[in-house]
Amino acid sequence: MKSNAAPPRRVTVLGSTGSIGVNTADLLAGDRDAYAVEALVGHRNIERLAAQAKDLKAKFAVTADESQYRALKDALSGSGIEVAAGAEAVLEAARRPADWVMAAIVGAAGLAPTLEAVRRGVHVALANKEVMVCAGDLVTAEAKKHGATMLPVDSEHNAIFQVFNDSQRKAIEKIVLTASGGPFRKTSIEEMASKTPAQAVAHPNWSMGAKISVDSATMMNKGLEVIEAHHLFALGSDQLDVVVHPQSVIHGLVYYTDGSVLAQLGSPDMRTPIANTLGWPNRIPAPSARLDLGKIAQLTFEAPDPIRFPALRIAREALIAGGGAPTVLNAANEIAVAAFLDHRIGFLDIAATVERTLERLPNRQIATLEDVYALDDEARVTARSLIGEETRHAARA
């Protein structure tokens, strides 16, 4: 007698050892019969990567760090799991025959493997906003060419995705992304100047990696999300808005011409948007805490403060400028955040470094992936030079 059960969905997780990857693995482990794990890609957390590969019975495990190959090989000895390391191995993992690929490799490093998955014409769960910021036009063109479905994982974009009626696109006035305001929402500029990395990564609502936590503290994450939303939903800058919502219960809103406003609500748990993409077009169970509005009692909103959080303005200006400006914005921000986490610059220097990098580099058009990489490299060199100048100046002072 034939079974009517659907075959397991074949999945690959690019960036399985980060916060998004860990939450994805948690969902996969919750229904082992529904998924067959093709490949897992991590970086230096070999212990976690090996444990995930064994637990989820992955066919292929990759560390992006070539120096960690032997450690991963030893950790998976006797498991029958194929092991590889390095940039080309990461691309190979993205090419493997999965039906659904989680693209969660942090930063511009996620661009090439994400494009490989897109070119296979599969469902790509996009958790790396920098991919769309750096090369949004290229990625969307490739997705259209190869028939790939881009499923946003960021809680805000996923919220919009859930209530965005594409068949009624002409009736959409604008979308609104919500922001928690981060740990420094009520902190004065003078106080922010002395904030430490440990204080910046202490997000009040979400459990995230260090880089994205700092982006939340500067509100650069919301600026990057505005640019990503422009590409994901094909909307102009004047149709993209941001509101600070400290409770992180409403994640996104869509305003329609008849006066209706549709919003998606949920507890601040990344397993909810991940589950939405993992099961798409169906909905699957997720262990996220259920929302109790009676217990929350109050939802509040406020406009972002452009003086204390200039990153949002800088990002919007880069979107309007177009061309390579968003690529420069992203690269400079990655360098500046890394320098802050390394205690080499202050918190307020992050946005200042990004703005000065944009001012120093003339804008140019992006036509190919090679253009993106070249401009990304140039922006990083420029940002490092600016940080070096600032460090030398501070030392003399």
- Who's near 42: CB < 8 A, 6+ residues apart? 15, 16, 17, 21, 48, 49, 52, 61, 62, 63, 64
Q: Per CATH, the architecture of 322-397 is what?
A: Orthogonal Bundle (1.10)
pLDDT in tens, 287-298: 999 999 999 999
DSSP-assigned beta bridge partners for residue 179 = 244
Lowest-confidence range among 126-130, 154-158, 370-374, 384-388? 126-130
State the pLDDT at residue 3. Answer: 45
State the pLDDT at residue 189. Answer: 95
pTM: 0.91
- Looking only at the bridges linking them, the beta strands covering 60-63 and 35-42 are parallel
Annotated domain spans of the chain:
9-152, 322-397
For the cut 70, the answer to whether the pLDDT of residue 2 exceeds it is no
State the pLDDT at residue 115. Answer: 95
State the pLDDT at residue 272. Answer: 96
> Rounded CA gap, 353 and 285, in Å?
43
State the pLDDT at residue 205. Answer: 66
For the cut 90, the answer to whether the pLDDT of residue 107 exceeds it is no
Name the residue with tokens 């149709």.
239
Gap between the terminal Cα atoms of the chain = 81
Give the 3-state secondary structure of residue 186.
Answer: coil
DSSP for 247-307, written as a single string: T--EEEEEEETTS-EEEEE--S-THHHHHHHHHTTS-----PPPP-HHHH-----B---TT
**What CATH topology corresponds to 9-152?**
Rossmann fold (3.40.50)
Q: What is the DSSP letter of 79?
A: S
State the pLDDT at residue 22. Answer: 96
pLDDT in tens, 163-215: 999 999 999 999 999 999 989 999 999 999 999 999 999 877 666 778 888 99
pLDDT in tens, 332-391: 999 999 999 999 999 999 999 999 999 999 999 998 989 999 999 999 999 999 999 766
Edge-to-edge strand order for the sheet containing 261-265? 240-244, 172-179, 250-256, 261-265
pLDDT in tens, 54-66: 999 999 999 999 9
pLDDT in tens, 242-292: 999 999 999 999 999 999 999 999 998 999 999 999 999 999 999 999 999
For the cut 50, the answer to whether the pLDDT of residue 53 exceeds it is yes
